[in-house]
Structure formats: C-alpha cells, structure tokens
C-alpha cells in the first residue's frame, strides 16, 4: 500500500495547496517562490478560503494561478495591484492577502501605488519577484537592473538601479526583507514571518530569470546569487507557546547581542541569530545604512532588513465595524426611512 501523504492541522495534504501547472520557463525563480508559498501555507495550516491572491501583470504576476488553487485570486493591471488589494481589504478585512509583483510591475509602472499602499499601511504580504528584466516582452532592463549589466538585445544598462527594499523603508513600510529564491529555507522563514505581520510586509526576493538574465556575472542570476548571497542572520519563526517552553534554553545558547527576538503582533516570535554582519532590523538607521552599503559595495545581503512595531493599518484607521463590509446584510447598510425624512427636512 502506498504511504499516506502527510496532512496538516486542517487535514489537508500539500497537494491540496497546489495551483494549476506553471507556464513559466522551467527553472524560473518564480516557480521556486510559488513552491515556498505552497509549503508555508500547508505547514501553517492556513485555510485557503481566507486567503486572497493578488497580482499585477508580468511573469511574476502570472504565478498566483500556480499556487493555492482553493483561494480566490485576481490578476489585475500592470502596476496597479496595490490599489486592488486596498479595495478588497476594505471590503473584507478578514482576508489574508498574498500579493505577487515584479520589478517592472513595482519598480516602474507601479512605483506610485507601491509607495502609497505602504503609506496607508495596507496589511498584506507584498512579494516582489525581482529579476532585473522584463520577461514577457523579452528582455528589456527593469529599473532594478544594476548599472553596467549587459543584455543580449539591449546592450549595456547605463542607469543606476532602484533598490525597492530601500524605497519601502523610506516610504514607511513596517516589515521589509530581501531574499533569494535559491534560498528556500530563508524564503520560507521570511514568508511565514510576513504572514504573521500586522501591516504591510514587503519581501523583495531576487528571483533569477533563467531566459533573459542569468549570466554568472549578472547580479540577479542563479550562479551569482548562490555564490554571493550574504545572509544577515539565521531566521526562525516560533509560535508563542514554543518560545515559552524553550525560553531558558534559547537564552543560554547565545552570547548577548548574538540573537535578536522580535515579538510580532499575534504573539509569534521571529528569532534572528546574527551571522558575520551585525544588523538590528529594529533600527531604521541601520537598515538604511546596510542597504546603502550593499548597493555601494555590490553586496547581496539577505534577511529581515527592517521591522517596526505595528502601526495602525488602513482598516484600523477607517474604524470599520468588526464584520467584513462585504458580508453585511442590506438592512445594516441602508439607513431608515425616518433617517431620509430627517435629512430632507434640512433642505
């Protein structure tokens, strides 16, 4: 008899979290990220009907079709995913939104919406699958491509790149991470932490385009990333119960300053064990400094770059009723006949 597949707390198998077969290129970094989303949702036992998958336009934005097949999704317009997410979350703030964008979708056409969603602290996971090129239109530079990058049809990139993690921090994002799609464990840990975050969580994941930008010296290629990635820390995401039970051991295990624990709004802990580069993601100054240094020195740093105690999210500041607006019955939405009569009397 075949071995029974593992099931999660909801009694679902990992297969139940899959989407449709991918149509992206074999080996595309984005597929790896889709897999990590499936794995994370399965591991956490997330109910798929409470998840909303959103995207803009581009290779990356196609990918929500390829994970969480039991979640509603919306492949919207190029660069405009953030506004669609904002509206959807106003309609139903109980939804958990996992949104996928790309470097063209976010860094060029969608820069405005990216920054304004951050400004409003719309609470969702904003994944940027960042490969430095436009794939569907066949290999133009994106705004995140490094200066001097040489591409087959378009020659040498003469412009300075935009660092989307830096842009996110400057705009006021409360959770900003950078990762590499080749580092499955880190992607998964950051994904899990982002899902627990209350507020906007920006994950800038370098996700190589194997077709148009994968030369070994390109900063967003697999060979380059695998060789040059500098993780800032080891990341563990721990449930509140787990931390309490293990507290004494974990504190003894590391010398002071070697480990940072960040407690998230829902009680989850993100534990960061410092590696060779010291970085405290709770300091905005350090976060900006390390990103600037990375850009100047061409260092591919990854990890949780910035984290801030949750600020009020947009649904909080709108002071909405507890029930999702989309599920309110008509009699809760239409004021009474008397109310109209009273208003008319004022004119």
Partner 1 sequence: MCALHAPTQSLDVTVQEPIVNDFAFSVATKNGSGSQTSNNVLVRTLFDMGIPVNGKNLFPSNIKGLPTWYTIRASKYGYTARRATTEIVVAYNDSTLADDIADLPAGGVCIIRDDIARYAPQRSDIFVYEVPVKQIMKTADVPREFSSRVENMTYVGAVAQLFDIPLDMIYAALLKNFNNKKKPADMNMQVVQLAYDHFRNHVEKRDPYHFAKMNGTAGKILITGNEAGGLGAIFGGVNVVSWYPITPSTSLIDAVNDYRYLRQDPDTGESTLAIVQAEDELAAAGMIVGAGFAGARAMTATSGPGISLMAEFTGLAYFAEIPCVIWDITRMGPSTGLPTRTSQGDILFTHFLGHGDTRQYVLLPASPEEAFEFGWRSFDLAEQLQAPIFVLSDLDLGMNNWMSEPFEYPDQPMQRGKVLDAEALRAFISQHGKWGRYLDVDGDGITYRTLPGTDHPMAAYFARGTGHDEMAVYSERSDVWVQNMERLQRKFETGRSLMPKPIVDKAPEAKIGIISFGTNDPAIHEARDWLAAQGLKTSYLRIRALPLTQEVKDFVFDYDRIYVVENNYDGQLNQIMRIEYPQNMSHVRSLALGDGLPMTAKWIIDNVLEQEGNL
Q: Which residues bind partner 1 (CB under 8 A)?
A: 20, 47-50, 52-54, 64-65, 69-77, 80, 82-92, 94-95, 112-113, 116, 120, 314-315, 318-322, 324-328, 330, 332-335, 337, 339-340, 343-344, 347
Using DSSP bridges, classify how beta strands 175-180 and 201-206 pair: parallel, antiparallel or unpaired.
parallel
- CB of 42 vs partner 1, minimal distance in Å: 15
Long-range contacts of range 148-156, CB-CB < 8 Å, 24 or more positions apart? 149/213, 149/218, 149/219, 150/215, 151/212, 151/213, 152/212
Residue whose CB is less far from partner 1, 95 or 287: 95
- CB of 46 vs partner 1, minimal distance in Å: 13
Residue whose CB is less far from partner 1, 83 or 295: 83
Residue whose CB is less far from partner 1, 67 or 222: 67
Residue whose CB is less far from partner 1, 199 or 303: 199
Q: How far apart are CA 341 and CA 322, in angstroms?
A: 29
- CB of 191 vs partner 1, minimal distance in Å: 20
- CB of 327 vs partner 1, minimal distance in Å: 7
How many CA atoms within 13 Å lie on the side-chain side of 182? 21
Identify the CA nearest to 44 among candidates 268, 304, 305.
268
Task: Decide if 114 contacts 82 (C-beta within 8 A).
Answer: yes
Identify the CA nearest to 53 among candidates 63, 45, 64.
64
- CB of 207 vs partner 1, minimal distance in Å: 21
Token couple for 115: 């920054």
Residue whose CB is less far from partner 1, 245 or 340: 340
- CB of 173 vs partner 1, minimal distance in Å: 16
Residue 215: what are its φ and ψ, rounded to 5°? -65, 145
Task: Decide if 156 contacts 149 (C-beta within 8 A).
Answer: yes
Residue whose CB is less far from partner 1, 23 or 289: 23
Residue whose CB is less far from partner 1, 82 or 107: 82
The radius of gyration computed from the CA coordinates of the chain, to the nearest angstrom, equals: 21
- CB of 281 vs partner 1, minimal distance in Å: 28
Q: How far apart are CA 305 and CA 165, in angstroms?
A: 8
């Amino acid at each position: 008899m075949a071995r029974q597949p593992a099931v999660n707390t909801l009694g679902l198998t990992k297969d139940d979290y899959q989407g449709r077969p991918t149509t992206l290129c074999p080996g595309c970094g984005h597929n790896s990220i889709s897999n990590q989303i499936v794995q994370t949702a399965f591991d956490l036992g997330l109910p798929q009907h409470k998840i909303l998958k959103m995207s803009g336009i581009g290779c990356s934005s196609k990918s929500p079709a390829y994970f969480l097949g039991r979640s509603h999704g919306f492949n919207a317009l190029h660069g405009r995913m953030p506004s669609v997410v904002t509206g959807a979350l106003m309609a139903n703030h109980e939804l958990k939104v996992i949104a996928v964008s790309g470097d063209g979708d976010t860094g060029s056409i969608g820069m405005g919406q990216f920054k304004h969603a951050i400004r409003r602290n719309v609470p969702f996971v904003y994944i940027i699958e960042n490969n430095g090129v436009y794939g569907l239109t066949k290999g133009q530079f994106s705004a995140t491509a490094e200066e001097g990058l040489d591409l087959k049809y378009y020659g040498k990139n003469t412009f300075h790149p935009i660092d989307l993690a830096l842009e996110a921090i400057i705009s006021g994002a409360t959770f900003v991470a950078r990762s590499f799609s080749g580092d499955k464990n880190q992607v998964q840990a950051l994904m899990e932490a982002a899902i627990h975050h209350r507020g906007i969580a920006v994950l800038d994941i370098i996700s190589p385009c194997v077709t148009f930008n994968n030369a070994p010296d390109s900063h967003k290629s697999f060979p380059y990333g695998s060789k040059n990635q500098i993780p800032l820390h080891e990341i563990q995401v721990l449930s509140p119960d787990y931390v309490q039970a293990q507290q004494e051991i974990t504190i003894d295990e590391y010398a002071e300053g070697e480990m940072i624990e960040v407690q998230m709004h829902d009680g989850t802990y993100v534990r960061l064990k410092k590696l060779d580069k010291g970085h405290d993601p709770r300091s905005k100054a350090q976060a900006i400094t390390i990103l600037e240094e990375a850009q100047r020195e061409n260092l591919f740093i990854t990890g949780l770059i910035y984290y801030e105690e949750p600020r009020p999210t947009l649904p909080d500041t709108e002071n909405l009723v507890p029930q999702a607006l989309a599920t309110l019955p008509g009699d809760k939405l239409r004021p009474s006949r008397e109310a109209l009569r009273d208003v008319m009397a004022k004119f």
